[in-house]
Amino acid sequence: MMSELLVFVNDEFIPASKASLLVGDLAIQRGYGIFDFCKALHHTPIFLDEHLHRFAHSAGRLRLPIRPKKEIALVIHQLINKNNIPHSGIKLTLTGGYSPDGYTLAQPNLVITQTPLHPPTPDTFEKGIRLVTYPHIRQMPDVKTIDYLMAIWLQPYIREKNADDVLYHRDGLMSECPRSNFFIVTKDDTVVTPDENILKGVIRGKVLELAQQIGTIEERSVSLEDVRNAREAFITSTTKHIIPVLQIDGRPVGDGFPGAVSRHLRTQLDKLVASVTP
């Protein structure tokens, strides 16, 4: 029933098969735009305030005027009611708009889509993922821009290296995966995650809070050496929550199996998400 889903474009709810932007939009012309992505469970957006806050931050950094958070939240709730998908991903996109000269910023276009999304399963956690490192830092990494040029371009490379996703680094300092944050757990059970050249994920923040309740956390640079000495590694994202990283560049992380700290944090995160889900 994908074709019947509604998409919000500026001021209207439009069937997905007709939801479009004119080709003069600066996202199409110049790749200029931001987005955010939150999850809804049982028709309820999870951590919506945090996502709207970050969306506003991204908009500000790219000098795109944005509507009040309350107004966007209202549209999201209307969209959820209209589409009636219990578990979904909600993507907010704000573009540079219809520029008269294809270069100057114009009135932004706001697009809000909703697509079915299934919560991560225990199996997803046990299976874990394999990463391959690649030297790249996103432009303006603190901003959730639509720039995924390298991420998409690297897909064949990732497959060729028998990996599931890419871990960006610069000069051997790890930063992030294209759509998730990266953590290691050291031999003394400290939970460490990079603090520079990254997008600060909403789940990253929640996991740091949870980790702090049970032990030590550090937000600092993570070298390849740190990764090799780590007992565990995992990634966090809105879609995936916590997934153990079992291999990096073909070498096992720790013993190559999901670790106790990752597992504990996942349980705690599941509880936290459940506590804000009706």
* Smallest distance from a second copy to CB 226, Å: 27
* Cα angle: 58, vertex 64, 68; to 5 degrees: 80
Position of tokens 């209307």?
78
CB nearer to a second copy: pick between 149 and 260: 149
Residues 6+ apart with CB under 8 A from 172: 223, 224
**3-class SS of residue 142:** coil
How distant, in Å, are the alpha carbons of 25, 136, 158, 207 from that of 253? 44, 22, 18, 20
* Smallest distance from a second copy to CB 40, Å: 17
Residues that bind a second copy (CB under 8 A): 7, 9, 16-33, 62-63, 91, 93, 95-96, 102-105, 111, 113, 136, 139-140, 145-153, 155-156
Residue from 195, 191, 203, 196 nearest 38 by CA:
203
* Smallest distance from a second copy to CB 233, Å: 23
User: 125 near 266, Cβ under 8 Å?
Assistant: yes
CB nearer to a second copy: pick between 140 and 173: 140
* Smallest distance from a second copy to CB 139, Å: 5
* Smallest distance from a second copy to CB 147, Å: 5
CB nearer to a second copy: pick between 148 and 257: 148
**3-class SS of residue 223:** strand
* Smallest distance from a second copy to CB 200, Å: 19
CB nearer to a second copy: pick between 23 and 188: 23
CB nearer to a second copy: pick between 150 and 270: 150
C-alpha span between 68 and 53 (Å, rounded): 10
C-alpha span between 33 and 72 (Å, rounded): 17
- DSSP for 157-206 reads HHHHTT-SEEEEEETTEE-EETTEEEEEE-TT--EEE--SSS---HHHHH
CB nearer to a second copy: pick between 41 and 150: 150
Strands 88-95 and 44-45: unpaired
CB nearer to a second copy: pick between 155 and 212: 155
* Smallest distance from a second copy to CB 177, Å: 13
